[in-house]
Structure 1
Amino acid sequence: MNHFNRLVSEQMVTMEKLLYLQAELERCQEIEEELQNLQNETELESIQIDIDQMKKELKEIQLMFERQTEEVINSYREMILTPTL
């Protein structure tokens, strides 16, 4: 059960990172839209670089979350299928 709890705990930390990064990405995209409206090319380019970086990080965290989900499922299955002595 400890292994399962540790995996779930790790997954919750990853989920927090995922939600934070998604919120930041949305915020930056709103800024991007505002800057496009203002046609401020210098700042626009900077925010676009930030958005691209956040998208890459978000994808990495999503992949990590998927792997952790698989680990949690496998750990739970092992816990259920392994008879306690």
Structure 2
Amino acid sequence: MKSFDHLVTEQMQTMEKLLYLQGELERCEEIEEQLKMLQQETELESLQMEIANKKNELREIHKIFESQTEEVIRSYQEVNVSV
């Protein structure tokens, strides 16, 4: 019976280690998922910065286009006034 008790005690200790390691593994997996999400957020932030840059670039091109349009209109008016 002593041997049985000893085996059961060892098994219980092993079970405690197993449960502890399982809990640690789950905790690590949760942290891993959070890190993955953070990586995606970093990619999202990068994408948002790229979008903001493209919007600024688009505004600048739009200003140039408007300026060119005004210049074309002035030039057209000058040619028609001269005729």
Normalised TM-score (structure 1): 0.50
Structure with greater contact order relative to length (CA < 8 Å, sep ≥ 6): 1
Q: Which structure's residues are more often helix, by fraction?
A: 2
Aligned to 2:64: 64
Deviation at 1:66, TM superposition (A): 0.5
Residue 49 of structure 2 corresponds to which residue in structure 1?
A: 49
SS at match of 2:51: helix
Query: Unpaired runs of 5+ in structure 1?
Result: 1-38
1:16-31 to structure 2, matched below 5 A, reads none
Give, as a single letter, the amino acid of the residue that structure 2 aligns with 1:71.
E
The code of the aligned residue for 1:57 comes to E
Measure, in 1, the Cα distance between the counterparts of 2:80 and 2:44.
53
CA-to-partner distance for each residue in 1:21-77, whole Å, 9 max, x for gaps?
A: xxxxxxxxxxxxxxxxxx620110110110010111000010111110000000000
2:34 is matched with which residue? none
- Structure 2 stretches lacking a partner, 5+ long: 1-36
Aligned residue pairs total 45
Q: Percent identity?
A: 53
1:79 is matched with 79
Q: Which amino acid aligns with 1:51?
A: I
Q: What is the RMSD of the two structures over their aligned residues, measured on CA atoms?
A: 1.1
Q: TM-score, normalised by structure 2?
A: 0.51
Structure 2 SS opposite 1:79: helix
